[in-house]
Structure 1
Amino acid sequence: MKRLYLVAGARPNFMKIAPIVRALQSHGGLAYKIIHTGQHYDREMNEVFFEELGIPQPDIFMAAGGGSHAQQTGKIMLAFEELCNTERPDAVLVVGDVNSTLACSIVAKKLSIPVAHVEAGLRSGDMTMPEEINRVVTDSIADWFFVTEPSGIAHLKREGKPDAAIHYAGHVMVDNLLYQAEKLVRSDTSGFETSNFKTVCANNDARYGVVTLHRPSNVDSAEMLARIVGALREIATELPLAFPVHPRTRGTIEKFGIDLGPNITLVGPQSYMSFLHLWKDAAVVLTDSGGLQEETTALGVPCITIRENTERPVTVDEGSNVVVGTDPARIVAEVRKVLRGEGKQGRRPHLWDGRAAQRIVEVLARELS
């Protein structure tokens, strides 16, 4: 039986490979191993986390750890090369755009192992983003491209990829979202940290918003973060905000004493289910996350993206997302439009139906047979 290596390096990667694992288990025609590069080691990524996703623990943990981009990428490449030379897979599947995606693609390609890239073809055009470099390089050497939206097809064709290698599959992140949302309906949410915030808002008959910020361009500069927080403080006078704060964001807030005001509730990083429980009922989500732009579109939640660009234009063209940049006045104005009921109405894009992973597995089984 042909064997796949499924590579994941950071927590969001596991959300993307989880539906693929479930599809492989149902298909039964391909063997697989889950490879955790250890790019991000999350203490909370334990049995409960993988049980929540409906997948087994990783088969291999490489413990690459942190460091600069070059150090981390190099450590992953060395460990993955040793693994592939010890037990050679028939193909390597990578997801998204993290350093592990880039590193393992390069190693596999140099060992003449075919590479499948899930979420291929996304482009922001901003080469100051490490993720954009990872996307472009991975797609330059991959063999099969699984695309989430029409822009991905256009980019790959423009870059000279053959039509036969490009597969419009839908979005595995949405597969996972719909799977988890269904589980959430049957779950006891009283123990979630986010439940207390929601209960307080409900008791006050108040809507609420959710904020996430982690992009270096937004949070590493005290001046930039203070500008954005100024807009959030103004919004919070009209709409309570919950802010699950990323460690690097918290570091800048604390280092420079940035005042969040009384109406922004900081909480720690959340589990997938706890965070979904929070944002799915929000009046609006303000974020610089690529994945959250897509997930809010899938559930029809208004999203204000605090970036100058997006590599996921379908969320703007068809979905509930508006890209506003970092101008405080524009951020506040767009949120007020949502609160007045004048916000953008979107729809779920084509093939974001919860079956992307099945389509991917069917293609790989056919290609590898």
Structure 2
Amino acid sequence: MKIIAIIGARPQFIKHFPFEKACVDRLDLKTIHTGQHYDENMSAIFFKQLGMRKPDYMLNVGSDNHGAQTAKMMVQIEKILLEEKPNGVVVYGDTNSTLAGALVASKLHIPVFHIEAGLRSFNKKMPEEINRVLTDHVSSCLFTPSKIASANLEKEGLVEGVYEVGDIMKDLVVYVEENELLKPFKEESYYYATLHRPYNTDDDSRLRYVLDSLNSLNKKVVFPIHPRTKNNMSVFDLNIEKFTNIEFISPQSYIDNLSYLVHSEGLITDSGGMQKEAYWLNKKCITLRTETEWVETLIGGNNILLFNDLSTLDKELVTVGENWNEELYGDGTASEKIVSRILSY
């Protein structure tokens, strides 16, 4: 069977690596990289550091408004699918690359296999929510990470072809730990922070408030600065040197990012994937959002949602979580289960 996988953004490289490994000698896998993320540390280094195969197609779409970016992807993906005639198309998560691939494949009557299906934030202002809902409704196989994700699909009338396999991102965390790939860092106490979502970065007063809150914490904050955040800080005239308690560093590779998290005293983020990584690594997480798709991480206070009032940030970071569930989102073998299901399909 020939399968084409579509990737384009940092979270998808993380998900693709275990799937690529599981496909060896089982599926003829080709990869399209849309180029949605093109920063060296957010894209190319994944292939170098993890030994991932070079993508078969590089589209180099780059950044643009949602409509223009998605349309550019669709035009190029359609040409490739018409030429390759795959038996199925794999898409991951909820980015514009995900939606573009799913729409093109479904209109060409090619089965769509959606990895990380069923997630819902129930916030339609998030472009990711639109992408994931639409992708689920054109997919032939929906691979969910949890019972809640499967139940979300059932509420929308999607019951055929739904398989609860666990979270494929956990496969890579397990792989990194088992192969002792995490890097040692100097013994120092710090919090780790990541920030990139529009509602935290695109408004002058909001971004200023978040950075001021981080700057006032009682521990140093190590902050790999996303290109979007860095650009907006410049636009809003927010001088990096003013925030003396924040150590701004460049975007990190997957292993370096995980290493910083492992050695930290806790995480402050608006990322989806890092909420899970913090949970699996038993790190307290503060999510700067009003909602999360990963609602299971909130159980026992291991992950806390904060948004409007960040004055309790210090207090919440030192509140110890309870009832860590080692089996949350599977056992690290999601990729093997997914490949087996695709073969049986």
Q: Place the TM-score, normalised by the shorter chain, in its bin.
A: over 0.9
Which of 330, 338, 344 is residue 352 of structure 1 equivalent to? 330
Assess if the C-alpha contact under 8 Å between 2:66 and 2:96 holds in 1: yes
What's the secondary structure of 1:94's corresponding residue? strand
- Give the Cα separation in 2 of the matches to 1:47 and 1:158: 39
C-alpha RMSD of matched pairs (Å): 1.9
- Give the Cα separation in 2 of the matches to 1:43 and 1:233: 28
| C-alpha deviation, 1:92, in angstroms | 0.3
Per the alignment, residue 94 of structure 1 pairs with 91
Assess if the C-alpha contact under 8 Å between 1:231 and 1:328 holds in 2: yes
For the pair 1:250 / 2:250, whether they are aligned, the reply is no
Per the alignment, residue 364 of structure 1 pairs with 342
Which of 302, 306, 309 is residue 284 of structure 2 equivalent to? 302
Unaligned runs of 5+ in 1: 190-194
What's the secondary structure of 2:101's corresponding residue? helix
Greater shift, 44-53 or 211-220, is seen at: 44-53
Assess if the C-alpha contact under 8 Å between 2:9 and 2:42 holds in 1: no
| C-alpha deviation, 1:275, in angstroms | 1.3
- Give the Cα separation in 2 of the matches to 1:332 and 1:357: 38
Per the alignment, residue 286 of structure 1 pairs with 268
Map residues 65-104 of structure 1 onto 2, 5 A cutoff: 65-104=62-101
- Give the Cα separation in 2 of the matches to 1:48 and 1:250: 20
- Give the Cα separation in 1 of the matches to 2:323 and 2:196: 26
Per the alignment, residue 142 of structure 2 pairs with 145
Map residues 206-217 of structure 1 onto 2, 5 A cutoff: 206-217=188-199
- Give the Cα separation in 2 of the matches to 1:18 and 1:329: 39
- Give the Cα separation in 2 of the matches to 1:273 and 1:102: 27
Alpha carbons of structure 1 residues 179 and 256: separation in structure 2 relative to 1, 3 Å = same
Q: Aligned pairs, how many?
A: 343
What's the secondary structure of 1:326's corresponding residue? coil
- Give the Cα separation in 2 of the matches to 1:318 and 1:333: 16
Alpha carbons of structure 1 residues 118 and 186: separation in structure 2 relative to 1, 3 Å = closer
Assess if the C-alpha contact under 8 Å between 1:299 and 1:348 holds in 2: no
Which of 121, 125, 132 is residue 124 of structure 1 equivalent to? 121
The normalised TM-score by structure 2 is 0.94
Assess if the C-alpha contact under 8 Å between 2:216 and 2:245 holds in 1: no
Assess if the C-alpha contact under 8 Å between 1:120 and 1:148 holds in 2: yes
The normalised TM-score by structure 1 is 0.88
- Give the Cα separation in 1 of the matches to 2:258 and 2:72: 33
Greater shift, 116-125 or 265-274, is seen at: 265-274
- Give the Cα separation in 1 of the matches to 2:299 and 2:142: 22
| C-alpha deviation, 1:46, in angstroms | 7.4
What's the secondary structure of 1:85's corresponding residue? helix
The percentage of counterpart residues that share the same residue type is 37
Per the alignment, residue 311 of structure 2 pairs with 329
| C-alpha deviation, 1:345, in angstroms | 4.9
| C-alpha deviation, 1:354, in angstroms | 1.4
Deviations 1:260-302 (A, max 9, x none): 5322111111111111111112111000000000111111111
| C-alpha deviation, 1:318, in angstroms | 6.3
- Give the Cα separation in 2 of the matches to 1:112 and 1:106: 10
What's the secondary structure of 1:258's corresponding residue? coil
Assess if the C-alpha contact under 8 Å between 1:306 and 1:331 holds in 2: no
Per the alignment, residue 214 of structure 2 pairs with 232
- Give the Cα separation in 1 of the matches to 2:329 and 2:269: 24
Unaligned runs of 5+ in 2: none
| C-alpha deviation, 1:135, in angstroms | 0.5
**Letter matched to residue 244 of structure 2:** P
Deviations 1:51-79 (A, max 9, x none): 42242111111222221111111011111
- Give the Cα separation in 1 of the matches to 2:206 and 2:213: 11
| C-alpha deviation, 1:344, in angstroms | 4.5
Assess if the C-alpha contact under 8 Å between 1:297 and 1:319 holds in 2: no
What's the secondary structure of 2:275's corresponding residue? helix
For the pair 1:170 / 2:182, whether they are aligned, the reply is no
Assess if the C-alpha contact under 8 Å between 1:222 and 1:256 holds in 2: yes
Alpha carbons of structure 1 residues 176 and 141: separation in structure 2 relative to 1, 3 Å = same
Alpha carbons of structure 1 residues 279 and 33: separation in structure 2 relative to 1, 3 Å = same
- Give the Cα separation in 2 of the matches to 1:92 and 1:254: 39
Assess if the C-alpha contact under 8 Å between 2:38 and 2:44 holds in 1: no
